[in-house]
A and B are shown apart, each in its own frame.
Chain A
Amino acid sequence: MKFKTLSRIFAGAVTVLAASGALAQSKPTELKVGITTFLSGPASVFGVPGMAAADLYIEQLNAAGGINGVKIVPTYIDEGVGADKLLSEYRRVVQETGTKVMLSAVSSGNCNIIAPVAEDLKVLNILWDCGTEKVLEEKRYRYVTRTQANATIEMLSTVLYLLKTKPDMKTIAVMNQDYAWGRDSWELFRNALLALKPDVKIVAELFPKFGATDYSTEISRLQALRPDVILSTSWGGDLDTFVRQASQRGLMKSSLLVLPLAESSLERLGTALPDGVIVGARGDHYFLHPQFKDEPKLKNFTKKFQEKTGAYPIYPVFHMVQALDGLVAGYQKAIKVNKGQWPSTEQVADAMRGLEFRGLTGTVKIREDGQGLEDQLLGVTRKVAGYNFPVLEKIMIYPADLISTPVGQKSPEWVKTIKPELINNPRFKQLN
């Protein structure tokens, strides 16, 4: 019977795998790393540059000897196929190819469903790009860590920058995408803003459909309301379309635009984005980071990335490099703990806690709950000679330890407790 033969082969394979598990400490020839990223759908504006970054950086790491001589071999999974199929692909890669390390995911929704599965499968999972703070606040994991910040830090730093730039603001309107990120990020932003400046009036809360292509009604309404500030945490094609339609109709003349994710759209938007718009970068990374732009690591990578893809690196690119640097640092720490021997997955997972490492920009520290502490960079747009798209000026860096939800607390509640004194904390530095 065919079925019997097949199941025997499977049983044999499982035995072999189990045996190799017992000998985990012997150094493998290669380290398989599964990477989930968007290769299709609207979020491929992040996923495809992320994959290009992974290819480029892994090649660079392997050329320098990999991790203690072990080469990194990536396998990519498309997040655009939907949650169910993603999960089965994830399981397949872990269980059938013996992959011990996963970098997943871009989408917050995917991070939320992958984390418990990774814990079950006992595979080290680095949340490499998603923003949701809930995933690590609502449950404790051993195998799941994150090598970058989360939505709380990103939104709080944006509020702080806004209140520093426009302290006399009285009204605000929001226009976010109608899905988890758009709603959750607004909840965090609103709670933080009202804690720091309780007299601000919210004049409109608009949540157009995810992937909407026409914002003209929203723009008419925003022009009629004339709020001091318009926030949009949208990204990708949605953000590009909104900004272009808004700029065609001069919306930025009556309101200050705040776009916490727009670093990833700057080059595409080109001249459609006027000067003076507040832009965030979902971290402290930016290819013209005033402190690091002349450091060889960032400079060379930016050059190579541009040669390879024709575009400047954007935040998912930095996040990918950060995840890989974090992974390498975690393995090296675990190897040291293990007295030079190749570590087990558990040893690496434990080593990730308390780890300090550097990606292309500032230092990231991983807390005991697995959450990365990553500083935040914000600036305002300005056209300068040499680039055919706006660059950031008046850049401020917000140290992560001052604006992170303490371990064990829930972000939407915690941000309500912050005090207005925080706005002028002397550790918030302006760099250019």
Chain B
Amino acid sequence: MSQDIYILAVLDGLSYAALLFLVALGMTLVFGVMNIVNMAHGSFYALGGYMAATLGLWATAHGASPAWSLLILPLAAIIVGCVFGALMETSLMQHIYNKDPILQLLITFSAFMIFEDLQRLVWGTQPYFVSDIVNYLGTADILGITYTRYQLMVVPGVALVVFVALRSFLKLSSIGRQIVAVSHNREISTALGINVKRISLLTFVVGSILGALAGALASPTVSWVPGIGGEMIVLSFAVVATAGLGQIEGALVAAILIGLARSFTVYLLPELEVLIPFLIMVLVLLFRPQGLFSVAQSRRV
């Protein structure tokens, strides 16, 4: 049994890390390009879940097969990112790129609070839950433990696809390279003829879609309640800080690290479960204040 526990803990940890990674990815992407820690990122997670639940309920009411969820979930994320992400970028973020970081933090935090109230206004306070897809895909037995195929395959699968897609997009496509250039230096990018305004909008929308996608993917296994975005923002911040702000590969490693550490503590030292992500973050920041994967900044002047 004792050896089995390690396999189980790895499975649980990876599936949890996948969600964590998706949320952290959006946050770290936005920070990398705009140098802003977006506190409202958790709202996109929450909105993505709510939107997915609403669309799911609507589809069920119209007699659609649960398999459609596989389309509905990303669709919900894209709607949320394109509507709310774009709205926030054009109405708020654009005006604060050159402001004091404290002010930026306060403004994105107030956006978070506005989004929270908006969710209550639209979706009320009672929990939402649409899980047809999980039941549809069924379960798989591993070492006598029942897992849902959804958490074992769909969630980590999507996270992996998104990671590979985003990396190749940034490395290979022209727009992706422009994003990387802006993340290095806004002024020089402008001088080189890159439309920084457009790139910022695009990055922010993509970041929001990623946050919303995590929410949409989580929604079939989680009761969606007010305040759910706030919980996520704290955890994903731990991931982003551990990795080093703006580090995409780092976020993947940090998410897996924290996911695995958490699942092993549940098996071995359950008292520490809540603490462990932050313990890891503190330990890392103590020895590497810039995070695990950040390289030292070159002087710009």
Q: Is there an interface contact between B139 and A249, defined as CB atoms closer than 8 Å? A: yes
- Tell me which of A241, A251, A272, A311 has the highest count of chain B C-beta atoms within 10 A of its own C-beta: A241
Q: Does B126 reach chain A (CB closer than 8 Å)?
A: yes
- Tell me which of A208, A217, A224, A237 has the highest count of chain B C-beta atoms within 10 A of its own C-beta: A217
A-B contact pairs, 23 of them (CB 8 A): A40-B120, A44-B226, A48-B126, A206-B266, A207-B270, A211-B228, A213-B218, A216-B12, A216-B15, A216-B147, A217-B262, A218-B266, A220-B145, A220-B147, A221-B267, A223-B144, A237-B225, A240-B223, A241-B223, A244-B129, A248-B131, A250-B139, A251-B146
Please indicate the chain A residues that have their CB under 8 angstroms from the CB of B129 in the complex.
Answer: 240, 244, 268, 272
* Assembled-state Cα–Cα distance A95/B115 (Å): 33
Query: What is the number of contacts between chain A and chain B, taking CB atoms within 8 Å?
Result: 124
Chain B's nearest CB lies how many Å from the CB of A204? Answer: 7
Contact of B19 among A45, A214, A248, A251 (CB under 8 A): A214
Q: Is there an interface contact between B127 and A268, defined as CB atoms closer than 8 Å? A: yes
A223-B146, A249-B147, A250-B139 known; A237-B270 Cβ under 8 A: no
Please indicate the chain A residues that have their CB under 8 angstroms from the CB of B139 in the complex.
Answer: 248-250
* Assembled-state Cα–Cα distance A174/B274 (Å): 16
Q: Does A41 reach chain B (CB closer than 8 Å)?
A: yes
Q: Is there an interface contact between A207 and B12, defined as CB atoms closer than 8 Å? A: no
Q: Does B43 reach chain A (CB closer than 8 Å)?
A: no
Please indicate the chain A residues that have their CB under 8 angstroms from the CB of B151 in the complex.
Answer: 216
Please indicate the chain A residues that have their CB under 8 angstroms from the CB of B92 in the complex.
Answer: none
Report B1-29 CB contacts with A as 1/0, cut-off 8 Å.
10011001101110110010000000000
Chain B's nearest CB lies how many Å from the CB of A161? Answer: 26
Report A248-276 CB contacts with B as 1/0, cut-off 8 Å.
11110000000000000000100010000
Report A192-232 CB contacts with B as 1/0, cut-off 8 Å.
00000000000011111101111011101101100000000
A40-B120, A245-B221 known; A207-B273 Cβ under 8 A: yes
Q: Is there an interface contact between A207 and B274, defined as CB atoms closer than 8 Å? A: yes
Q: How many residues of A contact B (CB 8 A)?
A: 40
Q: Is there an interface contact between A224 and B266, defined as CB atoms closer than 8 Å? A: no
Q: Is there an interface contact between A217 and B12, defined as CB atoms closer than 8 Å? A: yes
Report A346-377 CB contacts with B as 1/0, cut-off 8 Å.
00000000000000000000000000000000
Please indicate the chain A residues that have their CB under 8 angstroms from the CB of B13 in the complex.
Answer: 217
Q: Does A42 reach chain B (CB closer than 8 Å)?
A: yes
Please indicate the chain B residues that have their CB under 8 angstroms from the CB of A248 in the complex.
Answer: 131, 134-135, 139, 148, 221
Contact of A221 among B124, B224, B266 (CB under 8 A): B266
